[in-house]
């Protein structure tokens, strides 16, 4: 009887604190990955308004992200017809890192696909100021579409 009473009252005993599994330094590395995963899921679901807030947080906290994330954002916004938001994102670009040619091409194609001539011109200007686009593909896509859209 005493043993059954003991087993029934074990819930009253304080539970030991679990030992931390993740250290402080590894937690910092998981936060960007979790934010990026959440952002990509929001974009996949078409929740562009919420995704814009997460995107702003990611860019504020980690400004050195590649252009692929911006391209994903532009693509999703373009599908939803959110042209003003695309213009705002392109307007915030101050410089472009030349190491991400593939991302740059995707950004250009997304802006052109949304029919935003002014933003295309803005990207080209940022490319020139940053000394980016020496490879043929990004200049060909951007320049060719500028020619076609301005004629």
Q: CATH topology for 30-150?
A: 1.25.40
Which residues 6+ apart lie within 8 Å of 106 measured at CB? 67, 68, 71, 75
Predicted pLDDT at 25: 44
Reduce the DSSP state of residue 87 to 3 states and report it. helix
Predicted pLDDT at 88: 93
Predicted pLDDT at 23: 42
Q: What is the pLDDT along the chain (151 residues), one digit of tens a residue?
A: 555 545 555 555 555 554 444 444 444 455 678 888 899 999 999 999 999 999 988 888 777 667 888 999 999 999 999 999 999 999 888 777 666 778 888 888 899 889 998 998 888 888 777 777 655 555 566 655 555 554 4
The reported pTM is 0.68
Is the distance from CB of 45 to CB of 75 less than 8 angstroms?
Answer: no
Please state, in angstroms and rounded to a whole number, the distance separating the CA atoms of residues 87 and 11. Answer: 59
Token pair for residue 112? 């052109």
Question: What DSSP letter does each residue of 27-66 carry, written as one string?
Answer: HHHHHHHHHHHHHHHHHHHT-HHHHHHHHHHHHHH-TT--
The domain limits of the chain are 30-150
CA angle 123, 69, 133 (to 5 degrees): 35
Predicted pLDDT at 95: 74
- For 88, other C-beta atoms within 10 Å of its C-beta total 13
């Amino acid at each position: 009887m005493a043993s059954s009473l003991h087993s029934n009252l074990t819930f009253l005993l304080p539970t030991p604190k679990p030992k931390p599994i993740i250290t402080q330094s590894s937690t910092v590395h998981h936060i960007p990955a979790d934010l990026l995963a959440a952002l990509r899921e929001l974009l996949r679901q078409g929740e562009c308004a919420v995704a814009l807030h997460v995107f702003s947080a990611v860019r504020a906290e980690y400004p050195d992200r590649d252009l692929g994330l911006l391209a994903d954002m532009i693509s999703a916004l373009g599908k939803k017809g959110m042209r003003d938001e695309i213009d705002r994102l392109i307007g915030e670009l101050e410089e472009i890192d030349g190491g991400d040619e593939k991302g740059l091409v995707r950004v250009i194609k997304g802006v052109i696909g949304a029919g935003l001539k002014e933003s295309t011109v803005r990207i080209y200007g940022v490319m020139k100021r940053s000394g980016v686009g020496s490879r043929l593909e990004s200049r060909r896509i951007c320049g060719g579409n500028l020619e076609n859209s301005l004629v």
